[in-house]
Structure 1
Amino acid sequence: MVCLHNRLSYASWRLRVFRQLFDLHRVSRPLSTSTQRPNAQDRSTDTTTTTTTTTTPNTPQQPNQTQSTPNDANRKPPRPSQLLPQSPLLTHPRLPKTKPHKRTATPEDKDPLRLNPWAQALASPVRMCNLTNARLPRALFTEWGIIRRASDTEPDPPLHILPTGLLKDDLAASREQHQTALSSDQLEQSPPAKPTPSTTTRNNHPPQPLIFRLTERLPVLTSLTQALDSGPESDRRRSNLARILPNRWKYPHGPLTSRAAGMLSWRDDMPEFMVGRMRAQAARALQKASRTYKKVDRGRDGVWRTLPLDARSKSALETALRDLPAVERMECGAVLVMGQPRSGQDATTPEVEKSTLPDAVHLQQTQSRVPVFDLSVLLSEAELEELRRSDARFQSLALFFRPADKTTMDTLLTLWKLKGFLRG
């Protein structure tokens, strides 16, 4: 090994460095042939003499001589290892950079978003549609599952694929009588056994039903139903219903065997069934929010406000909103347009019409935009009449609805999902 700077070998350079270190710390002691060590009296005399000489106040001081301090006496000479060349990693260490983190949200930061239905929906976990592979927040999806009717006495009863998220009340009311949402343990059983009452402990939870999610769009559901029912090959296509189910359900990873996949069933009127169920859910949510806040214009800081609407137009809506008094979190609300009662029309037909109103209007109080829900298009005539009979506030032409708790937030999200489903 050769030193690049001095053109010396490593052995010569090392020998020179050690000589410098030892010469620097060598103590010069006079030669003496005596092997006796000085006694304590001689050492004390030398120490006294040195101290007297050093601390004499009248001793003249040379111009270039500096006065000794106590720190100089206590200062220790550097160790030989400290005089060796050190690595730059030790002399100039680079401290690791702290990873930047976002500031933890405080309760004051969460308060504006706690009662914002749109923020809560977007903050829900992202899930994937099994049909289109689209990734959306979980609050914008409908849960689907497999339902087996307990009244079926066939040896191989069909397994119905239905939106269990819209049938929660029906399943809870008729779980033991008519139909049951299947779990992974019950999927392989041919006749469903009646549940026996048992005590539920912390470690013995009941099995959860299997669910998957599909995009809430009427054109997608219509295309899927037509593909399963078109032509003479409809039976073969119905046998491929298992393709829309998650892979974690299928054998060997899941409980869905080939025998159970052959018993899957799909409704021929699934689009109309979904429209009717979503409309009924929205009507029930509006009635529940109406019962929670009884007063029309003074219910808990303006949850419901009547809008004096002159015409069904964007300018008329903005003019009516401009006259409203400003309330807290007004930008989280929405406009509900009831419309005039229609006569001579079948109230049971779930026909989907297009609204002439805009999707959102400008709110001058907060300089923001609020959505518009035309209930005369979103709901059927029978459901509108039931709303008008349930509460007098729904007899007006338009209402401004601002959420104030979880019930009212769920109502706005239900209307939002229904509007997105019908619009496609």
Structure 2
Amino acid sequence: MMECASHRLSHATLRLRIFRQLYISNTGPRFLNRSISTSYAQLRQAHDEAPSPTPPSPSSSTKDYIPPSKRLPQSPVITHPRSGFKKIYKPRPEPEDNAELKRNPWAAALASPVRFCVTTGTRLPRRLMGIYGLIKRPDTNHNYLLPLDLLKDSIQKRSAESEDESLTSESSTSADAKVAPGRGVSPSIPRGRTFSPSLHMVTLRPLIQAATPHLASRLGKRPGIAKLIPYRWKIPVGPLGANDLRDCVWRADMPDYLLRLMRKDIVKRLVNISEKLEADRDIAWESLDIDEYSDSALETALGGMEPLEHEACGAILLFAAKPEHEAESGPASMTVIHPRTQTTIPVFDLSVLLSENELETLRTSSSAHLESEALFFRPNGGHEDMSLMLYLWKLQRYLAENS
């Protein structure tokens, strides 16, 4: 610490005392009980003899006088105080703000919640992946991990049949026991909460083909599929015990089984949408006249079509197979450019995506527009219409990755 040479006071203490003598104390400095040096006494004497500056006093002639304390710049915290803390929230979107994105299936898919893929470890929007869950096979103890989104109708039909059987058995039991109606569910029917969790997995054919041998195999009593079962499904957190995990099964023909389910689901959705077209005029389903299967022919057909609202969110469906002289040129591209909107329009060649039997099912349906060679389809923002576009894209991607 720096100290003065004439005494043993620190330099900081000396500066503080001089400050008190010059600016604060009007009665004189307060000295320590011990003696101080001569130089400090001379400094004190010179200060006492010097005249003290007197600030100009405000008078009637000096009305514009401003004290020195008011001349210094002040902080905005003092000059503009806030009444209180107010958090600024982002305004909620109005219905007209989302009008452009409501009919766009790709925007709806990207806006879906992000989920974790159990096979690749990536995080993707939920509507871009497949949803899997354990389904118990009838008359067995095996639990198969199958795509729930593709088997939704079968699961609902099976649950309805089992419910009807349980109600029938309940009514017969009540009649035998002469129980009055309205007593509730029979005690033999379990009342616990149904355990129906789900997993999310990227539906790519190379990935399914590479993972199937490992997931369908068994290492002793432990199946390979047990690697995909999360911790929250197992005891003590979940209901699955050691015996339940041992009965979990992954199909050995899962790649081909998924392809059959996806094709069957597309045919069912196309038939349902075509029947809905008669009641909902907001769905655009226009026939396209094409001379050949090429990008230029499709773009010309799009340009000759009458302008539609939100036509940039549509897609082209090709139903007829390519002629032999055009099939040698290779498959058509999966996208074309709309001449009016200058946006990318997906092209789904159903003659490649579906089998011949499934195409024949579409041709023999009651909808006349499914007999056309090419159609322009634009969803109206409903769940079924948007799902049809996304599942067509999933099937096309499933087959394109294999090639």
Q: In 1, distance between residues paired with 2:295 and 2:331?
A: 9
Tell me, in whole angstroms, the C-alpha distance in 1 between the residues paired with 2:226 and 2:184: 33
Q: What residue in structure 1 maps to residue 35 of structure 2?
A: none
- Give the deviation of 1:139 after TM superposition: 0.3
Quote the residue 1:241 is aligned against. 225
Instruction: Tell me what 2:208 maps to.
Output: 221
Count of residue pairs the alignment pairs up: 335
Q: CA deviation at 1:207?
A: 3.6
User: Match of 2:398, SS?
Assistant: helix
Map of 1:25-104 to 2, 5 A cutoff?
66=61, 104=92
CA distance in 2, matches of 1:172, 1:217: 26
- Show the counterpart of 2:15: 9
8 Å contact from structure 2 (residues 131, 200) kept in 1: yes
Aligned residue type for 2:20: R
| Secondary structure of the corresponding residue to residue 336 of structure 2 | strand
Alpha-carbon offset, residue 396 of structure 1: 0.9
Q: In structure 2, which of residues 196, 201, 217 is the aligned counterpart of residue 209 of structure 1?
A: 196
User: Do 2:222 and 2:245's aligned partners in 1 also have CA atoms closer than 8 Å?
Assistant: no
Confirm whether residue 108 of structure 1 aligns to residue 114 of structure 2.
no
Query: 1:150–1:177: 8 Å Cα contact kept in structure 2?
Result: no
Shift of 1:278: 0.9
Q: Distance in 2 between matches of 1:208 and 1:252?
A: 14
- Aligned mates of 2:161, 2:281 — CA distance in 1: 42
Query: Is residue 144 from structure 1 mapped to residue 125 from structure 2 by the alignment?
Result: no
Question: Structure 1 residue 246: deviation in Å?
Answer: 2.0
Return the letter of the residue paired with 1:421.
Y
Task: Look up the SS of the partner of 1:166 in the other structure.
Answer: coil
Deviates more, 1:85-94 or 1:254-263: 85-94
Q: 2:116 — aligned with what?
A: 128
Counterpart of 1:381? 356
Structure 2, unaligned stretches of length 5 or more? 1-8, 28-51, 164-182, 324-328
Matched letter for residue 401 of structure 1? F
Q: Structure 1: which 5+ residue stretches go unaligned?
A: 28-63, 180-195, 343-353
Task: Please state how far the C-alpha of 1:256 moved relative to its aligned partner.
Answer: 2.7
Partner Cα distance (2:276, 2:161) in 1: 32
SS of the residue corresponding to residue 356 of structure 1 reads coil
Aligned to 1:422: 399
Counting only pairs closer than 5 Å after superposition, residues 155-234 of structure 1 correspond to structure 2 as: 157-175=141-159, 206-228=193-215
Give the alignment of 1:279-298 within 5 angstroms: 279-294=263-278
Counterpart-to-counterpart distance in 1, 2:302 and 2:184: 55
CA contact (8 A) 1:150 1:178 kept: no
Q: Any conservation in 2 of the 1:228–1:237 contact (CA below 8 Å)?
A: no
Distance 1:238 1:284, change over 3 A: farther
Secondary structure at the counterpart of residue 115 of structure 2: strand
Cα contact 1:314–1:358 (8 A) shared by 2:
yes
Change (3 A) 1:12 1:91: farther
Contact 2:379-2:385 at 8 Å conserved across structures: yes
Mapped contact 1:248–1:254 kept (Cα < 8 A): yes
Q: Whole-Å Cα distance in 1 between the matches of residues 346 and 61 of structure 2?
A: 86
Q: Deviations over 1:84-114 (max 9, x none)?
A: x99989879999x999976643332211011
2:351/2:359 contact within 8 Å kept: yes
* TM-aligned CA deviation for residue 289 of structure 1: 1.3
Find the residue that maps to 2:210 and give its secondary structure: helix
TM-score for the superposition, normalised by structure 1: 0.67
8 Å CA contact 2:283–2:380 kept in 1: the answer is: no
How far apart are the structure 2 equivalents of 1:137 and 1:149?
30
Question: 2:115–2:124: 8 Å Cα contact kept in structure 1?
Answer: yes
Residue identity (%): 34
1:199-241 deviations in Å (ceiling 9; x for gaps): 9xxxx99545111111111121122223456xxx756497221
Shift of 1:315: 1.7
Contact 1:355 1:374 survives alignment (8 Å) = no
**Residues 177 and 289 of structure 1: is their aligned pair in 2 closer, same or farther, counting only changes over 3 Å?**
closer
CA 1:23–1:66: 2 relative to 1, 3 Å:
closer
Q: 1:309 to 1:2 in 2, by over 3 A?
A: farther
Q: Is 1:278 the counterpart of 2:255 in the alignment?
A: no
Maintained 8 Å contact 1:158/1:264 = yes
Q: Is the 8 A contact 2:218 2:224 kept in 1?
A: no
Distance 1:148 1:90 in 2: 68
Is 1:310 paired with 2:291?
Answer: yes
Q: CA deviation at 1:136?
A: 1.3
User: CA RMSD for the aligned pairs?
Assistant: 4.3
1:398 — aligned with what?
374
